[in-house]
Structure 1
Amino acid sequence: MAERTEGERLTELAKRRGYYFGSSDAYGGVAGFYTYGPQGAALKSNVEDAWRDRFAVQEGNMEIDAPTIMPEPVFEASGHLDGFDDMLVECAECGESHRADHLIEDNSDLEDAETLSVEEAAERIADLGLVCPNCGADLAGQSVEDFNLMFETNIGPGSSTAGYLRPETAQGIFVEFPRIKEYARNRLPFGVTQVGRAYRNEISPRKSIVRTREFTQAELEQFVDPERDEPDLSSVEDVEVLLYPADEQQADDGDYVETTIGAAVEDGIVANAWVGYFLGVAQEWYERIGVDVDRFRFRQHLPGELAHYSSDCWDAESEVDGDWIEIAGFSYRSDYDLSKHAEHADEDFTVFRQYDEPKTVERAVVDPDMSVLGPEFGGAAGGVKQALETLAERDPDAFDADEVTVEVDGESYAVDTDVTNFAVEEQTESGEHVTPHVVEPSFGVDRTVYTLLAHAYEEDEVDDEERTYLSLAPAVAPRDVGVFPLVSNVDELVDLAEDIVDDLRTAGLSVFYDDSGSIGRRYRRQDEVGTPFCITVDRDGLEGDSETTVTIRERDSGRQVRVPVDALAAELESVRADDRTFADIAAEYEEVTNA
């Protein structure tokens, strides 16, 4: 029997222990949708809380919660209707659809097939002799087409408004920028975060919760003045990172670059200092929540991979089963998003930049004679006036001729220059309006959960018995502690154990009480769930000369120390908050060798 892969072991444990499983199994299930069980929901929630703490609270950023459905014009403006596609190839025999670039990558050495055009992808499929994974039919000669990933819906009954489920949480932040900037007192830089669901109609969902059709994102949109704002790199400049730049990926002898954030920015490996700052923050955050840094890297997007809105992007990637999985992206979106929404919406997507001192400038202006424009152009007169004002600002030389032409709604209108009352005036200005640029760290919560479970999965032997355990960091583990009376038929032990459960829960800790089976079996169950600590209430703790004590057992090492009951909550809270380690506790209290 072939040895199970890392992913197979993880999927089996996840289902058995309540981390995640395919949704709607009672009705046959549907690919790309997963339900988080009790352990998975708790772990996921803890990851989200840890992300909020680092990227919202500690950074001083705001958080919003926007709708998951938005009207079609939002995605017209953002470019998602035209540019949010994956490559699809359909089997002529069974009708199954497959993602073309994934088929190519799975059957060749090419790692960036998504950079191919649809024509090139079709050629690669033919050259490689690829067949349908579902039925084995030849795919050569089948056309490869772009497939838009957004879920379409209708808003309201009857002649309803077309809408889409958001493919990213970012647009909910961008469309509300005119109001959000007021909460930031119109002062750059400022950041806005959002944690929530996003939806992509994936062609071929795979790898359980890695590639799904409904998923959770944690995103930060950092709005900056591109000419004035620079991040303070001092807190992250010494953070060590493993980088895989685009030029190294494209070189025949390309390799990783081991460096620090400060050096990477200074050497131009990471071109944007804001991106560099967030790479450093993310590196430390991932390490804190339990990602194995030996299986972690930042990879720069190749030119053909860049999204339509991005001028540069680095992915945080984790290794699972020998494959690198994108778990976050750090993109410099420039002013693309706000400029696009400014073109399509009736709001101001700029921020007023105050000058240090007022400036006197020459400004081209027009004051069209509406008594002439009105009778001549009718209902288009107002549009003609606005077009003339825009033209004067953009191209004053156009008014040198006797006649000036403007375009409104696809129609051209010729206006006598005398009627425009064109002039160049001196004006005193106290500032100017600037369109902020955006730096976006975007985290896949589900993929982070998958990574944490994969990197935490361990197997060893305890007391001549095989053991599986999840070495999850206390900060994100779904349960903080298990509490057991050593035996369940002694009222004193049971009563004290139940009191401890109540006290720890009151202190805000997640506690699991278990009095079933041998103490060893109870330990093993909690180890496999990933519970960092187990408290055992025994007779020795009740019969002490002074205070009542219990033992705390640490999951990974199996070491136990005897701790006063009154100190339990404070000690466990300090470990969960990363203020202390179990080694610190063990150094302070009596270690138990036979319990």
Structure 2
Amino acid sequence: MSGEGERLAELAKRRGYFFGATEAYGGAAGFYTFGPQGAALKANVEDAWRDRFTVREGNFEIEAPTIMPEPVFEASGHLDGFDDMLVACPDCGESHRADHLLEDNTPIEDAESLPLAEVEDLVADHDIRCPTCGGDLADEAVTQFNLMFETNIGPGSSTPGYLRPETAQGIFVEFPRIKEYARNSLPFGVTQIGRAYRNEISPRKSIVRTREFTQAELEQFVDPERDDPHLDSVADVEVTLYPATEQHDDGGEYVETTVGEAVAAGTIGDPWIGYFVGIAQEWYETLGVDMDRFRFRQHLAGERAHYAADCWDAESEVDGDWIEIAGFAYRGDYDLSKHADHADDDFTIFREFDEPRDVERAVVDPDMSVLGPEYGSEAADVASALEELADRNPAAFDGETVTVSVGGETRTVDTDVAGFRIEERTINGEHITPHVIEPSFGVDRTVYTLLAHAYNEDEVDDETRTYLSLSPTVAPTDVGVFPLVSNVPELVDRAEAIVDDLRRAGFSVTHDDSGSIGRRYRRQDEVGTPFCVTVDRDGLEGDGPDTVTVRERDSGRQVRLPVESLSTELDAVMDGDTSFDGLVAAYDAVTTDAGS
């Protein structure tokens, strides 16, 4: 880290946002503890996400286990394809992400999308060396390393399991149950916020790339032929796009457009992706992400999963680097189809036709009086295999005999014994496998982005002031309450009473009576508290109602409010119903040289 990243890491540790975990025992790379401020900020981000993507969208939320048995990840493909590129130093033994070494030391971008052999050649061509000891990596093999954390479920090793590398699989495997809660009617969405685990080769950039992290994911299940999003609601949202075509062009530029225009032009290939991009744009702006340091980048062909029709990342700029903070993928029916192939349950939805249809269906009616004596205990399995074959490939019954596989062995049956025929039936619908659109958000990375974009320095009273310009939506503490001086019981008692009143009204409040009022302001500025309330003699000794001063963090301006109106006015500012300028216009501004 350098520059912005170093300053942020120092502030985060000193003020209780986040710090390396288990440092008393030497620590372990890739694991972080969120302190009191960080845990509160992170919880606020999660609550804001839940409100926008679960509550307001009318979706279901679940909480699935973080450990699942091995067959789940065999079906999902994680056991075979959830890998990163590893290169090990022959001198010090340290392992590194080969693609990251290329991106950090050469002009090459998105090395992750390159074939393994090409990355190995590039490491040699660019004389890449070990960042730990300087050892030569040119002749070292680049291999695939699976990122899954393995464990055993129960005593011994008879039931292997894995810590989930994403929250999505917990949603997919429970689809047969969840669809019942949705009354087997599409479209519907399922969300989950929770921990995920990846055994990263080289964790880096603080909480940006860790081995344990929090995801907020939405799986939107749709009928691809019938269901469309409410695109009109976000059509006018302005976005900055970085399409794959522009990334391939040496002079490629961002596309400044609206969601509606991007979908109409085919820049964003699917309306559902456009819909969630539009929602995300507005959500990130509400949280306080700097929109001048934010973009949506389309995946290049080599990055995109083979089942994804289109995929975009929301990226934020921090310390000169672009980091992925969310992904938006059209996953098709890949996930549900894979689990349907491996699991013993129904991963389809019944789609009712507008009108009944007459169709021809191939059926069999095996003569069990023949199959029984010939195949004994296998007769029922042979009959079932014939039924499945008739449904899948009626042409297989065109000859005099038909062959099926039972228990890994072939069995041949006379076609007339199989009882094959074509029947005309009237059907009211059919079973379909829903398609999935997945917006996936990195909560930890969003927290990091908010802190980095909120970090500011200015001069107050000839001293450098550091403050976090956090949105009230996510700030860990809403209000700081102080007595102007801490040795006057009347002021201390009234400040404590105001603290109790504001907490009962639902505000997150801190009480501080240590040091000068200027120093107390500085401490709250540095942790991002939007407002400070100060109880002073002037406010308690007048003829009218008791008043306090309210100070705005970013500008340092103050206004005097009646205590009886304090909760209502603060709530209005927090919710955006009014502004601090509105308070200044409605009440008395305060001019002070007491460390404002």
The alignment's TM-score, normalised by the length of structure 2, stands at 0.98
Q: 1:268 to 1:566 in 2, by over 3 A?
A: same
- In structure 2, what is the equivalent of residue 299 of structure 1? 297
Distance (whole Å) between structure 2 residues aligned to residue 448 and residue 461 of structure 1: 28
Root-mean-square deviation (CA, aligned residues, Å) is 1.3
Q: Corresponding residue for 1:129?
A: 127
For residues 38-60 of structure 1, give each alpha carbon's deviation from its aligned partner in whole angstroms, at most 9, with x where no partner exists.
00000000000000000000001
From 409, 421, 429, the counterpart of 2:419: 421
Tell me which amino acid in the other structure corresponds to 2:450.
L
Partner of 1:525: 523
The match for 1:492 among 490, 493, 499 is 490
Deviation at 1:248, TM superposition (A): 1.0
User: How far off its partner does 1:120 sit?
Assistant: 0.9
Letter in 2 for 1:40: G
Q: State the distance in 2 between where 1:4 and 1:96 align.
A: 22
Q: CA deviation at 1:393?
A: 1.7
Amino acid at match of 2:43: S
**1:308: Cα distance to partner?**
4.5
1:234 offset after TM fit, Å? 1.3
Amino acid at match of 2:294: F
**1:30 aligned residue:** 28
2:342 to 336, 339, 344: 344
SS at structure 1 position matched to 2:338? helix
Query: Could you list the per-position Cα deviations for residues 122-154 of structure 1 after superposition, in whole angstroms to 9, with x for gaps in the alignment?
Result: 100000001111111100111111111000000
Matches of 2:144 and 2:454 in 1, distance apart?
A: 38
The offset of 1:247, in angstroms, is 1.1
Any idea what the Cα deviations from partners look like across 1:440-485, whole Å, max 9, x if unmatched?
0000000000000000000001122110000000010000010000
Partner of 1:483: 481
May I ask how many residue pairs the two structures share in their alignment? 593
Aligned partner of 1:427: which letter?
R
Q: What amino acid maps onto 2:245 in structure 1? A: D
In 1, distance between residues paired with 2:543 and 2:365?
A: 95
Match of 2:467 in 1: 469
CA distance in 2, matches of 1:520, 1:492: 21
Name the amino acid aligned to 1:110.
I
State the partner residue of 1:264. Answer: 262
Contact persistence 1:79–1:308 (CA under 8 A) = no
- Could you say which residue in structure 2 is the equivalent of 1:511? 509
Amino acid at match of 1:58: R
SS of match in other structure, 1:178 = helix
Structure 2 CA distance for aligned equivalents of residues 316 and 72 of structure 1? 31
Map 1:11-90; keep pairs closer than 5 Å.
11-90=9-88
CA distance in 2, matches of 1:286, 1:111: 25
Find the residue that maps to 2:120 and give its secondary structure.
helix
Q: Following TM superposition, by how much is the alpha carbon of 1:377 offset from its aligned partner in structure 2, in angstroms?
A: 3.3
Q: Secondary structure at the match of 1:304?
A: coil
**Kept in 1: contact 2:2–2:319 (CA 8 A):** no
Cα deviation for residue 4 of structure 1 reads: 5.2
Between 442-451 and 381-390, report the one with greater CA deviation. Answer: 381-390
The alpha-carbon deviation at position 382 of structure 1 amounts to: 3.5
Provide the rounded CA distance (Å) in 2 between the counterparts of 1:151 and 1:211.
16
Q: 1:130, 1:22 → 2: CA distance?
A: 29
Aligned with 1:551 (options 546, 549, 554): 549
The CA distance in 1 between the partners of 2:22 and 2:112, in whole Å, is 31
Distance in 2 of aligned mates of 1:349 and 1:462: 62
1:448 aligned partner, one-letter code: T
Q: Which moved more, 1:66-75 or 1:486-495?
A: 486-495
Q: How does 1:360-439 map to 2 (within 5 A)?
A: 360-439=358-437
Structure 1 counterpart SS, 2:241 = strand
Q: Deviations over 1:344-379 (max 9, x none)?
A: 111100111111121111111112223333343344
Rounded to whole Å, the distance in 2 between the matches of 1:467 and 1:4 is: 20
**Matched residues in 1 for 2:234 and 2:134: separation?**
51
Question: Greater CA deviation, 138-147 or 544-553?
Answer: 544-553
Distance 2:147 2:89 in 1: 19
Q: What is the rounded CA distance, in whole Å, between the counterparts of 1:181 and 1:576 in structure 2?
A: 38
Equivalence for 2:154: 156
Closer, same or farther: CA 381–245 of 1 in aligned 2, 3 Å: farther
Whole-Å separation in 2 of the counterparts to 1:491 and 1:583: 33
Which of residues 432, 447, 450 in structure 2 aligns to 1:452?
Answer: 450
Q: Residues of 2 paired with 1:241 and 1:421: CA distance?
A: 61
- TM-fit CA distance, 1:409: 4.4
> Measured at CA, do residues 117 and 381 of structure 1 come closer, stay the same or move farther in structure 2, by a change above 3 Å?
farther
AA aligned to 1:389 is E
Give how far 1:543 is off. Answer: 2.1
In structure 2, C-alpha distance between the alignment counterparts of 1:403 and 1:575, rounded to whole Å: 80
Name the CA distance, whole Å, in 1 between partners of 2:368 and 2:442. Answer: 55
**1:186 partnered with 2:177:** no
d(CA) in 1 for partners of 2:433, 2:127: 50
Residue 211 of structure 2 is aligned with which of 196, 210, 213? 213
- Counterpart CA distance in 2 for 1:308 and 1:168 is 18
1:570 Cα offset (Å): 1.9
The correspondence for 1:585, drawn from 567, 583, 588, is: 583
Counterpart of 2:200 (choices 199, 202, 209) is: 202
SS at match of 2:450: helix
